[in-house]
Amino acid sequence: MTKFNDLPSDDNSYLFDPKILKDINWENATCTFKNNISIANPGDSLVMRPLRDDDFHQDYLELLGQLTKVGKIEEETFFKRFEEMKECCGTYYIIVIEDLKNNRIIGTSSLIIEHKFIHTAGQRGRIEDVVVDNEFRGKQLGKLLVQALVLVAKKLGVYKISLECKIHNIPFYELFGFKKDEQSFMIQRFEEMY
């Protein structure tokens, strides 16, 4: 059975080098986990890793469908978007939790890095698309996904990290040090294409 430390760093099928997850300092976590849950040990028969180009076949898009509308995406479209994200080296960090028993993705979250001119040409992080499969909720996996991305963002040297969430989720995100800001978040939605 594949273990976290066995993930090859030279495997070109990953969105980003798995070594980034291996090398984060788990001692800097701001929240605690029961049962020794960590990036290296997300649970029985589970592995946390970067998104891979073949995750289309492991129900990745179906999982995202539990969060929001996904639309009809063919394998070719998935692979093309994956390659576009990968070419933006240092911008997209999508992690997944794979259930090795059933060969499917049961959790995911994304860290997007914005490269700026402000803050001495600094980087800003944004966490998005946090979702855990209905069957696996309540097992600390959402907490693990967010904590991992916060630690990755720190390792990458962002000057700030943010996320959008519903009001009832604010206490959950406060566990990781997120605070409500005085700024107002505004949005403009355009008609969906599908």
pLDDT value of position 47: 96
What distance, in Å, lies between the first and last C-alpha atoms of the chain? 40
Architecture per CATH, domain 4-174, reads as 3-Layer(aba) Sandwich (3.40)
- Rounded to whole angstroms, the Cα distance separating 187 from 87 reads 28
pLDDT value of position 28: 86
Q: Which residues of the chain have pLDDT under 70?
A: 1-10, 184, 191-194
Q: What's the pTM value of the predicted model, to 2 decimals?
A: 0.89
Characterize the bridge pairing of strands 92-99 and 160-163: unpaired
pLDDT value of position 115: 96
Q: Are 78 and 34 in contact (CB under 8 A)?
A: no
pLDDT value of position 1: 44
Please tell me the number of Cα atoms within 13 Å of 11 on its side-chain side: 15
Q: Which residue's entry shows tokens 């394998």?
A: 75
DSSP of the chain = ---GGGS-TT-TTBSS-THHHHTS-GGG-SS--GGG--SS--STTEEEEE-BTTGGGGTHHHHHTTTS------HHHHHHHHHHHHHSTTTEEEEEEEETTTTEEEEEEEEEEEE-SHHHH-EEEEEEEEEE-GGGTTSSHHHHHHHHHHHHHHHHT-SEEEE---GGGHHHHHTTT----SSPP---------
Q: Which residue's entry shows tokens 């090795």?
A: 100
